[in-house]
Amino acid sequence: MLTALGLGAVIGVLLGLLGGGGSILAVPALVYGAGLPLASAVPASLLVVGISSATAVLPRIRARQVRWRVAAVFGGAGAAAAFAGAALGRLLSPQVVLVGFAALMAVAGWRMLAERSAVGGACALPGGGVNWRSCLPKSILAGAVVGVLTGLFGVGGGFLVIPALVLGLGLPMTDAVGTSLLIVVVNAVAGFAAHAGDAELDHGVIALFTAAAVAGSLAAARLGRRLEAVRLRRWFAYLIFAVALFVVVRALVDPAALST
């Protein structure tokens, strides 16, 4: 129980600080830290991520740091695709899913190390709006990809959404983080619904993990103003690489533990 509290708090803090990315550690934490089988860990992760993201996005909504139209496009495409991701996950063995998950973590870590500060792109209008006429198909495709990953791996996908919003649609980072959190909520709800009935959930562990994650995300809102964002992303990327390596080794060495 103490492990669930500690790991949940860490996930919440990272989610609140980064607006995404922290959720990618939820599944390994639930599998190897809380001892849940993968079939239970994926929907449990989506529940934790959805609730903690909803908590983290509320102050950003009050601060008007959410682009509702962008969230509707990405979230709508992702919600539909999450069911496809969940269906794909049922066809794959837990070992294959976790090895693929580790590869996704490596991609996320690489993106965080690529310190791209440029804002704008083909979809950004000079006045700060979005050129939907030319970029709506790309936005729907990006949202669908994130949705598949959400349903398959139980991640929120913020580490992919934020670069798309900043570099593709030209959103400022503050709006990108807030919008990303809302998209994560929508995807997590759809992904959880897609996995409903797949496995029995340990409600005690999930409740503790979620409560700690929510508390951590609230605390991170104040802590984030005092930390250097670039250094935070760099160290978090190193942590992701280490956890990805751990996941691969455990999945290959002891695959039977993933379903018990």
Band (256; pLDDT cuts 50, 70, 90): low
- Position 81 pLDDT exceeds 90: yes
Average pLDDT over residues 83-93: 91
Share of the chain above pLDDT 90, in %: 13
- Domain of residue 23 covers 2-259
CA distance 66 to 52: 17
Helix (H) / strand (E) containing 42: helix 38-62
For the chain, the domain total comes to 1
Average pLDDT over residues 113-140: 69
Decide which of 119 and 58 is more confident. 58
- Position 83 pLDDT exceeds 70: yes
Mean pLDDT for the chain? Answer: 80
CA distance 130 to 118: 16
The DSSP result for 6-24, as a single string, is HHHHHHHHHHHHHSSSGGG
Amino acid identity, residue 257?
A
Residue found under tokens 């190193």: 238
- Position 85 pLDDT exceeds 90: yes
- Identify whether the C-beta of residue 260 lies closer than 8 Å to the C-beta of residue 200: no
CA distance 70 to 221: 23
The pLDDT tens digits for 23-34 are: 678 888 888 888
Give the pLDDT score at 116: 57
Decide which of 216 and 195 is more confident. 195
Q: Is 124 helix (H, G, I), strand (E, B) or coil?
A: strand
The pLDDT tens digits for 42-78 are: 888 888 888 878 887 888 899 888 999 889 999 999 9
Q: What is the largest CA-CA distance in the chain?
A: 55
- Identify whether the C-beta of residue 87 lies closer than 8 Å to the C-beta of residue 196: no
Residue-wise burial string across 41-76, b where 16 or more C-beta atoms lie within 10 A, e elsewhere: bbbbbbbbbbbbbbbbbeebeeeebbbeebbebbbb
Residue 250 in tokens = 């455990």
Give the pLDDT score at 52: 77
> Which of 171, 142, 221 is closest to 66 using CA atoms?
171
CA distance 258 to 260: 6
The pLDDT tens digits for 138-189 are: 889 888 998 998 899 888 777 778 777 877 777 777 788 888 889 989 999 9
Band (84; pLDDT cuts 50, 70, 90): very high
